[in-house]
């Protein structure tokens, strides 16, 4: 017997915006309402590729900028069979960062166009909903442990935020923006209906990831 496919819900935002907490709350809320839901995160630091990325982020190793961009993308691609399997089984996937982070962070570096950054992710399963948690980068900087990993400087995060703003202009992606005061304990409540999860309306993996 076939079951309805799960929804692919992505949470995006600058570092320390609270994405992980909201992902956990959303998974919990979905499960409480009787729906199958699981969380994934990118980078997934558990794989071999993920370990290379993790070491880079922790500043234990250096990687050339194009190379690390492609590794982030490869880290998503290696999870695609599992993602598709779970979605087809009717499991709703709540994903902490996705290709939008990939594009926003690399294109915040000098010499990288949005177009170049998008290319390796074309063809990834398209999310049914992308929730953007908006937090002023100066507020993010005051949060615990900020500054330990690579990219955690206010100046860089401001540029990342600008790149996200550009990506959010793409109306073929179902973006929903939450301001900080809105999402405190709230974002997960309306995410489910916005994604069409469990309704059978959501689409599985169009062959192109519309990032811009």
| 97 lies in the site for ligand FDM, by CB under 6 A | yes
**Residue 151: CB minimum distance to ligand FDM, A:** 4
Pairing of strands 8-13, 37-41: unpaired
For ligand FDM, the binding residue among 6, 105, 131, 140 (CB under 6 A) is 105
State which residue, 152 or 198, has the beta carbon closest to ligand FDM. 152
In the complex, minimum distance from the CB of residue 4 to ligand FDM, in angstroms, rounded to a whole number: 28
Within 36-153, residue ranges assigned H as helices are 48-57, 65-77, 80-88, 99-107, 114-118, 137-141
Instruction: Decide if 201 contacts 7 (C-beta within 8 A).
Output: no
Q: Which of residues 57, 117, 133, 195 is near ligand FDM by CB under 6 A? A: 57
DSSP state of 4: P
Nearer to ligand FDM among residue 164 and residue 198 (C-beta): 164
Only segment of 95-103, 132-140, 191-199, 201-209 that touches ligand FDM (CB under 6 A): 95-103
Does 56 engage in binding with ligand FDM (CB under 6 A)?
A: no
One-character DSSP codes across 116-133: HHHGGGTTSPPPSEEEEE
Least distance to ligand FDM from the beta carbon of 71, Å? Answer: 9
Q: How far is CA 87 from CA 3, 116, 129, 135, 198, in A?
A: 10, 29, 14, 30, 11
Q: Does 79 bind ligand FDM (CB under 6 A)?
A: no
CB 14 within 8 A of CB 135: yes
CB atoms within 10 A of CB 168: 18
Selected from 18, 50, 102, 127, the binder of ligand FDM by CB under 6 A is: 102
190 and 106 Cβ atoms separated by less than 8 Å: no
Q: What DSSP designation does 22 have?
A: H
Site map (CB under 6 A) of ligand FDM, residues 120-159, x = contact: -------------------------------x--------
What residue ranges bind ligand FDM (CB under 6 A)?
15, 42-43, 57, 72, 97, 101-102, 105, 151
């Amino acid at each position: 017997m076939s079951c309805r496919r799960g929804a692919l819900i992505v949470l995006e935002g600058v570092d320390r915006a609270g994405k992980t907490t909201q992902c956990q709350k959303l998974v919990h809320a979905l499960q409480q309402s009787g729906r199958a839901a699981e969380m994934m995160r990118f980078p997934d630091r558990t794989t071999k590729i993920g370990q290379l990325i993790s070491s880079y982020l922790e500043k234990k190793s250096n990687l050339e900028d194009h190379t690390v961009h492609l590794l982030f993308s490869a880290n998503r691609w290696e999870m695609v069979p599992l993602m598709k399997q779970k979605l087809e089984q009717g499991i709703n996937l709540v994903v902490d960062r996705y290709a939008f982070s990939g594009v926003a962070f690399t294109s915040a570096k000098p010499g990288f166009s949005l177009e170049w950054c998008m290319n390796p992710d074309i063809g990834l399963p398209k999310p049914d909903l992308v929730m953007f948690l908006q937090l002023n980068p100066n507020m993010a900087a005051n949060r615990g442990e900020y500054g330990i990993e690579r990219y955690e400087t206010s100046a860089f995060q401001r540029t990342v935020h600008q790149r996200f703003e550009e990506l959010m202009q793409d109306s073929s992606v179902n973006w929903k923006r939450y301001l900080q005061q809105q999402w405190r304990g709230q974002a997960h409540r309306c995410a489910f209906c916005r994604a069409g999860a469990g309704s059978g309306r959501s689409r599985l993996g169009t062959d192109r990831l519309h990032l811009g």
